[in-house]
Amino acid sequence: MIKAVVYRAEWEHSANDFRITHQGEPPPQLPAELREWQAFKRYGLPPNAGGQRDQPLGWMDRCERMDYCYRVWRAWMACDKGPEWVDAHPDEYKTARKLRSMVYGK
């Protein structure tokens, strides 16, 4: 799921660059849970009937983590990756490094 989130953030940042670095891969789709989470945040309605207790166990935690990773990777792709950004966003930088390691092994 994290790989799909990272790929989608890269696609949204620059579809042409994504096509160059990931040749032959179709445009990535957001995971269903992240789409549900974004709709939940926008409209305040959980995907399953009822309230928080009617959601699958751990759904909100997973979705929050995916959303955070998505936002961090989008910020990472949009920034200049210079020391000023790193100093201003230490937590996001650590997360971006972990994401890069998980997805690309670097």
Stretch 5-31: mean pLDDT, rounded? Answer: 85
Structure tokens at 104: 């690309």
Q: How far is CA 12 from the centre of its chain?
A: 11
Name, of 11-20, 57-66, 88-97, the range with top average pLDDT: 88-97
Query: CA geometry: angle at 56 spanning 26 and 65, to 5°?
Result: 55
pLDDT at residue 84 above 70? yes
Q: What is the pLDDT of residues 19-53, one digit of tens each?
A: 888 888 888 888 888 888 888 888 877 776 666 56
pLDDT at residue 101 above 70? yes
Report pLDDT for 23: 85
pLDDT at residue 56 above 80? no
Own/partner long-range contacts of 36-41 (Cβ < 8 Å, ≥24 apart): 36/63, 37/63, 37/64, 37/66, 37/67, 38/67, 41/67
Structure tokens at 100: 């890069």
Going from N- to C-terminal start, the domains of the chain cover 2-104
The model's pTM: 0.81
